[in-house]
Amino acid sequence: QVQLQESGPGLVKSSETLSLNCNVSGGSISSSNNYWGWVRQPPGKGLEWLGSIFPSGNTYYNSSLESRITISVDTSKSQFSLKLTSVTAADTALYYCARGTGYYAYWGQGTLVTVSS
Amino acid sequence: DIQMTQSPSSLSASVGDRVTITCRASQGINNHLAWYQQRPGKVPELLIYAASILQSGVPSRFSGSGSGTDFALSISGLQPEDVATYYCQTYHRAPRLSFGPGTKVDLK
């Protein structure tokens, strides 16, 4: 059973960079059948797809974030990462990592990131 | 980008009622549609993929239908544990994904 676990600071200052990792266990991060992604959910709001990455390193980003977002993968550590630069209060959200084969069948538990001024 | 809309945005129903939520895509997406359930304070869970295929372990009272641009999620016999927000999502341009805004279901 694939398991995903997000980790990273829960508090980030405005204008700084948000950095999160997602550790994958119970399955290979290198399988070419899957891709890995990030989704966020601001408090009380809906789900927003942020971006996806294949084990090869090919990335796809939400066009609204393309100038600020970087997703990377480290297959040797079985983890992938999210960086979001120049954060504002609007980036305060619960951040989920997930595994995709089209849809997302596996999700992490989520990690709350609060952007402070 | 493909835009997803859902209606209604919220609904209240009684235990045992049949509930239907609709989802519309801004362009044709074949059957590349998934539905997720997010109970309060919990992680989203996959209910249905390919518009109508139930994920393993999902109760049979859930069903999905549709193709092209119009889709529906039905719950036949609402249960208390079905109180949740339901999201549709297209993966027609996977790995670029789009979620609908969600439909909140609660009990009368």
- Report how far residue B29's alpha carbon sits from residue B32's, in angstroms, rounded to the nearest whole number: 6
Residue B35 makes CB contacts below 8 A (sequence gap 6+) with: B23, B46, B47, B48, B62, B64, B73, B86, B87, B88, B89
Query: Which residues lie across from A52 on neighbouring strands?
Result: A37, A60
A1, A32, A47, A73: best to mutate for the B interface, most B CBs within 10 A: A47
pLDDT tens digits for range A49-106 = 999 999 999 999 999 999 999 999 999 999 999 999 999 999 999 999 999 888 999 9
B97, B98, B99, B103: best to mutate for the A interface, most A CBs within 10 A: B97
pLDDT tens digits for range B49-90 = 999 999 999 999 999 999 999 999 999 999 999 999 999 999
By the 8 A CB rule, do A87 and A17 touch?
Answer: yes
Cα–Cα distances in Å, from B81 out to A70, B13, B37, B73, B75?
A: 38, 13, 11, 16, 12
Cis peptide before B8 (omega within 30 of 0): yes
pLDDT tens digits for range B29-46 = 999 999 999 999 999 999
What is the amino acid identity at position B105? V
Is A32 a residue whose pLDDT tops 90?
no
